[in-house]
Structure 1
Amino acid sequence: MSSPFLEYTLPDLFSLCPLEFGDANPHYKEAGADSAAWVNQYDVFTHKKRAFFVQGCNELLCCRVYPYAGYEEFRTCCDFVNLLFVIDELSDDMTGEDARKTCGIFYRAMVDPEFKDSSPVATMTQEFRARLTSSAKPRCFDRFVVHCKSYVDAVSSEAELRETGKVLDLASYIALRRENSAIRLCLGLIEYIFGIDLPDEALNDPAFRSVYWACVDMVCWSNDVYSFNMEQAKGHTGNNVVTVLMHEEGIDLQAAFDRVGIVFGQLMNRCLEDRARLPSWGPAIDADVALFIKGIDHWVVGNLEWSFETPRYFGARHADILRTRRITLKPLEVCSEDSREE
């Protein structure tokens, strides 16, 4: 890993995903522009970080993973993903203590609409909360808040681990990644978009939970393998399954990437097999469960597509890398105090 010229081949996750590709939200340009203007008005980032934030094309991610959402729902989802990226970018440079404070502000603003704090994170969160609660069903919102607490705890733990340089074992990492990725929050928005409120009897069913966790892990593992080069150049390798696999299994970089492909395929097979085992809860609930599974399918597929449609992970060569899957490991970035303020 020390050579800046080391090359590796990405696993071909697209060939392992038989789900339907290609859907895009028709409200992307209008609602996406509105959401981008909303987040930009808070001037959260330095010049350099703003450029990186824009590269992320967060609204395009929403376009791919929520192609079925109406304008209002799509705009709300864009606002939330933009808010998540704000928290992620800010916490990347924070100590564990500071990350916990920032995440605490987000959580308190989500729980309490009367929470008083002048920070952009608090204001943005409260504005998003108002949009979400205008139509989200009660159980849907209650679950969303529970996932928010798990998310802020996990992001804070990630920052603390980064301070100490500790790399978790695989089982511990999977548990942390499921939460700090915020994917469970993003999947929670599926219920909001469709206007459904899944009952506990469906959510707690073993087959449903197997499908759900398989999709969560597919999103997390694919994101890790695609973001690894960008993260290692910034010195942020601990919160990545590639690093965890190298440490735990004693394998090199290419073998770790190959292992991600194997696990992704296993998760996909499990997802498809267990959805065929879902019981019936009656016509109304069955229809809602089908809508939710449709939504998580779009997240698995849309995340793969988006990763190569923007320069966030692969720079200007993102389209070429989609074709070749060949990557040259980037050298470690040298960041001075002056450059942090650019």
Structure 2
Amino acid sequence: MDPTTPIMLPTVAHNTAPDSEPSQFILPDLINDCHYPLRKNPHCYAVSCASDQWLIDVARLAEHELRGYIEMDAGRFAAFLYPDADAFHLQVCCDFINWIFIIDDWMEGRCRRSTGSTRILYFLRYAIPSILILEQLGAKMCKSFFSRFRETASLGCTEWFIHGSELFFAGAAKQAGDLCQGTDSGIKPCFALIEFVAGIDLPDEVMSHPVVKALEDATNDHVACNDDILSYNKEQSRGDEHWENIVAVLMHDRGLDLHSAMDHAGQMCKDAIQHFEFNCTILPSWGEDVDRQVAIYIEGLQNWMIGSLHWHFVSARYFGKDRHAVKLDRIVKLLPKKHL
């Protein structure tokens, strides 16, 4: 197999689902399978407070929505993902993460609001502040963080960020495809933030190289798959009609029971790491200065894999008050399904 080919959904058959659902399940050992060092940005607390205030001032959400996003702890998330950023760059990243979660929730229809995605992309591409753009709440938030992003981002970094955002909106609009294939993931624009916080500017020949693309795809696969695993309980309790969680897909399409599907998805995360490591060994050289920047970028991708994984057990978004116990024993009690 071509080592730069993205990991595909396994086709191996397993045990079929039992007649009755289990009351609990055991998570794969995701943390021990991901060996990269976890670091936290020293500006975490100050930036978290500032970004929370930004949500209050700019997002103007209803109180119960606002509380949910603050408890999500995007500040800790950004601090894990970008541990070497200064306070200014870290807050731009944190504000973006808050925004992308809100936009993702809205596009899934849970809040029944328009994102104004066309206007958002128009602003990102042309940076033209119009009254129509400012009428859309999502676009107001976008203008707020993107104007700060443009203060220091290179032209190449800006272009990659916009391109990643276009992919996100295109995938989310289709509402189709496997999350582990990266078709509607909001992760890709976040990779441009690795360049942004480090002040580097990787040439197009590097960013378009098949091995670099394979490293990004492997990171995307790992982050998306572990997110599906760790968000499964919350999502299954909602009983969504259009549900693209990889665990649910494996159960439905491959006839797996919950435990087998969890194990299978966990193996996909391990395969993504193996795929990443292999491509690191075949990375070409572009000269001393560019290679130094590439090494920073690769470390940033590693921070994304380990940081996003640990954050799921820090944020109350996924396991609530049980998150610390779940991290230790990996036992998750199935939530009852809500009647829509």
TM-score grouping bracket, smaller chain normalisation: 0.7 to 0.9
Kept in 2: contact 1:5–1:330 (CA 8 A): no
SS in 2 for 1:134: helix
Of 280, 289, 292 in structure 2, the residue corresponding to residue 284 of structure 1 is 289
SS in 2 for 1:333: coil
- Structure 2 unmatched ranges of 5 or more: 1-16
Of 211, 216, 221 in structure 2, the residue corresponding to residue 207 of structure 1 is 211
Matched residue type, 2:130: F
Kept in 2: contact 1:3–1:331 (CA 8 A): no
Q: What CA distance in whole angstroms lies between the structure 1 residues aligned with 2:59 and 2:218?
A: 37
1:134 matched to which residue of 2? 151
Of 321, 324, 333 in structure 1, the residue corresponding to residue 326 of structure 2 is 321
2:136 matched to which residue of 1? 119
Q: What CA deviation, in whole Å up to 9, does each residue of 1:6-60 have, x standing for no partner?
A: 2111000111112112x11111111221111011123543333223222211111
1:92 matched to which residue of 2? 108
Q: Give the structure-2-normalised TM-score.
A: 0.87
Kept in 1: contact 2:156–2:204 (CA 8 A): no
Of 230, 233, 237 in structure 1, the residue corresponding to residue 234 of structure 2 is 230
Matched residue type, 1:49: E
Matched residue type, 2:270: G
- Structure 1 unmatched ranges of 5 or more: 162-167, 336-342
Kept in 1: contact 2:116–2:139 (CA 8 A): no
Kept in 1: contact 2:69–2:98 (CA 8 A): no
Of 194, 215, 218 in structure 2, the residue corresponding to residue 190 of structure 1 is 194
Q: Give the structure-1-normalised TM-score.
A: 0.87
SS in 2 for 1:327: strand
SS in 2 for 1:114: coil
Kept in 1: contact 2:180–2:225 (CA 8 A): no
Q: CA shift at 1:194, angstroms?
A: 0.9
Q: What CA distance in whole angstroms lies between the structure 1 residues aligned with 2:59 and 2:306?
A: 32
Q: What CA distance in whole angstroms lies between the structure 2 residues aligned with 1:253 and 1:216?
A: 23
Kept in 2: contact 1:61–1:302 (CA 8 A): yes
1:68 matched to which residue of 2? 84
Kept in 1: contact 2:59–2:141 (CA 8 A): no
Of 264, 287, 294 in structure 2, the residue corresponding to residue 259 of structure 1 is 264
2:31 matched to which residue of 1? 14
CA distance change for structure 1 residues 252 and 44 in 2, over 3 Å: closer, same or farther?
A: farther
Matched residue type, 2:308: N
Kept in 2: contact 1:4–1:329 (CA 8 A): no
SS in 2 for 1:8: strand
SS in 1 for 2:36: coil
Q: CA shift at 1:250, angstroms?
A: 1.5
SS in 2 for 1:278: coil
Of 34, 41, 44 in structure 2, the residue corresponding to residue 28 of structure 1 is 44
Q: Provide the alpha-carbon RMSD of the alignment.
A: 2.2
Of 108, 113, 122 in structure 1, the residue corresponding to residue 122 of structure 2 is 108
Kept in 2: contact 1:190–1:295 (CA 8 A): yes
